[in-house]
A = this chain, B = another copy of it.
Amino acid sequence: MLSKKSKYAIKALVSLAKHFGEGVPLKISTISEEEKIPRKFLEAILVELRNNGLVHSKMGASGGYSLAKHPEEIVLSHVIRISGGPIAMLPCVSLNFYERCEECVNEEICGLRDVILEVREATIKILSKTSLADLLRREDFLKAKFTS
């Protein structure tokens, strides 16, 4: 399951992507209201995204946040990892949240692990080719499809 944190992070970034290149940063409160993300929670999330180089922040009056990269360059797998959500279904196949499986005598010959590895590959393949720009395009496409 994707944590709310990850989901909020993605939604916030999509919000910023919509205003990419306008030169005016977006305030936390604006994003919070538009995307219905709890104010203080969003604050913490954006700081983390900033520490990981995905967004720029500007302090003080008329400050706010803006994307640090082009929307085509920010992919979901990266955002999810940063915002603390493991992608794999088992800790023993996770790259970033690896944990040994106590009950396995030998991890390398675990059939279940082998399958979950396949699932992870398939998942990452999709999430790492989908950028913020892709999400925007998808929304446009869906909007057109459902308003016709």
Chain A at the B interface: SS class: helix
Q: How far is the CB of A127 from chain B (nearest CB, A)?
A: 7
Taken together as a complex, chains A and B put the C-alpha atoms of A115 and B135 apart, in Å, by 8
- Over the window 1-28 of chain A, the binary record of Cβ atoms lying under 8 Å from chain B Cβ atoms (1 yes, 0 no) is 1100001001100100000000000000
Chain A, range 103-148, C-beta contacts under 8 Å to B: 103, 106, 108-112, 114-116, 118-119, 122-123, 125-127, 130, 134-139, 142-143, 146
Contact (A142, B114) CB under 8 Å given A2-B90, A90-B7: yes
Q: Is A37 in the interface zone, CB < 8 Å from B? A: yes
Residues of B within 8 A of A89 (CB): 1-2
Q: How far is the CB of A125 from chain B (nearest CB, A)?
A: 8
Contact (A135, B123) CB under 8 Å given A11-B103, A116-B2: no
Taken together as a complex, chains A and B put the C-alpha atoms of A127 and B114 apart, in Å, by 12
Residues of B within 8 A of A137 (CB): 111
Residue of B nearest to A91 (CB): B1
Whether A111 pairs with B142 at a CB distance below 8 angstroms is: yes
Taken together as a complex, chains A and B put the C-alpha atoms of A106 and B130 apart, in Å, by 21
Q: How far is the CB of A80 from chain B (nearest CB, A)?
A: 9
